[in-house]
């Protein structure tokens, strides 16, 4: 059954007639004031920056990016229910879920420029790449509205990129705007936000692997996000900072 989003999820309010578009308040500012959230994401960002700086971002190779994307595709597929191993994914012999995740990873980075212009178009394209039912079309007018609202939030916020990525991920999973593979779309979107907003331009962090490493916490915090109002949202953000740290540890730069 498709679940409704928590009432406390940040939504984009109608613009005040007294405000120009540039003067409207950032819809996610209040999230940066939740207890422990700024420090948690700051620590995660510092860890990512140190990893990239120490290994020399400009000396990384396309092969390392490809490896990161492959690791992410495997982890995301497993979280979606795939039984395929990493070796199956590498040899292109994985099950249908794994193949869907790999197709998404193959085109993912080309969508980074589009994310800054039309996030909703990117979400639809990610789903179409999975080969799922209805090929990128939302399941209902309400789902379309939710995608548009999330898209407008992305276009208007200057909140820390790691926080924005975490919110996009949870929103897409719990809203389930597409007929299937919403988890694959959501995890790909999280990674894409990190690329597009400059945290990880070469996509060497593997956030999907971080969620797989913390699978029980991942699933329980998504349930809390869906059902727990502001408290659930707060718990998800604190969890997400930890998972993103795990994702950095899974980078090809570390192994």
Residue 240's nearest CA partner among 67, 29, 45, 102 is: 45
Q: For residues 57 and 75, what is the distance between their CA atoms, to the nearest angstrom?
A: 24
Mean pLDDT calculated for residue range 28-50: 96
- Residues of the chain above pLDDT 90, percent: 84
SS3 6: coil
Domains in the chain: boundaries: 28-53+62-249
Question: What confidence score (pLDDT) does residue 23 get?
Answer: 58
- Mean pLDDT estimate for the chain: 90
140: region left, alpha or beta (phi > 0 left; psi from -120 to 50 alpha): beta
Count of Cβ atoms closer than 10 Å to residue 255 Cβ = 8
The structure tokens 């249908």 sit at: 96
Higher pLDDT, 199 or 56: 199
Interacting residues of 196 by C-beta distance below 8 A, sequence separation 6+: 112, 113, 115, 116
Q: What's the pLDDT at 5?
A: 36
pLDDT tens-digit profile of 205-220?
A: 999 999 999 999 999 9
Handedness of CA 212, 218, 219, 220 (dihedral sign): positive
Q: Among 3.30.460.10, 3.40.50.170, 1.10.10.10, 1.10.3290.10, what is the CATH number of 28-53+62-249?
A: 1.10.3290.10
Comparing 49 with 12, the larger pLDDT belongs to 49
- Structure confidence at residue 12 as a pLDDT band (50, 70, 90): very low
pLDDT of 55 = 62
**Calpha distance 87→1 (Å, rounded):** 33
Residue 52 has pLDDT above 70, yes or no: yes
How many residues does this entry show for the chain? 255
| Whole-structure pTM value | 0.90
| Both tokens assigned to 174 | 């719990």
């Amino acid at each position: 059954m498709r679940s409704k989003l928590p009432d406390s999820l940040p939504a984009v309010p109608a613009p005040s007639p007294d405000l120009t578009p540039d003067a409207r308040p950032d819809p996610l500012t209040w999230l940066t004031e939740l207890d422990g959230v700024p420090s948690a994401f700051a620590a995660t960002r510092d860890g990512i920056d140190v990893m990239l700086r120490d290994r020399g971002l400009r000396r990384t190779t396309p092969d390392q990016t490809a490896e990161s994307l492959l690791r992410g595709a495997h982890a995301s597929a497993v979280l979606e229910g795939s039984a395929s191993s990493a070796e199956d994914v590498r040899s292109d012999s994985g099950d249908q879920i794994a193949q869907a995740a790999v197709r998404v990873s193959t085109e993912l980075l080309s969508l980074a420029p589009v994310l800054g212009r039309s996030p909703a178009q990117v979400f639809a394209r990610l789903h179409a790449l999975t080969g799922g039912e209805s090929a990128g079309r939302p399941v209902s007018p309400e789902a379309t509205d939710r995608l548009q609202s999330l898209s407008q939030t992305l276009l208007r916020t200057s909140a820390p990129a790691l926080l924005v990525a975490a919110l996009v991920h949870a929103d897409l999973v719990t809203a389930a705007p597409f007929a299937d593979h919403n988890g694959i779309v959501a995890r790909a979107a999280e990674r894409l936000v990190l690329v597009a907003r400059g945290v990880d331009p070469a996509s060497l962090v593997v956030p999907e692997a971080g969620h797989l490493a913390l699978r029980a916490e991942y699933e329980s915090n998504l349930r809390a996000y869906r059902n727990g109002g502001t408290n659930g949202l707060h718990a998800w953000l604190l969890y997400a900072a930890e998972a993103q740290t795990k994702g950095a540890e899974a980078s090809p730069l570390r192994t």
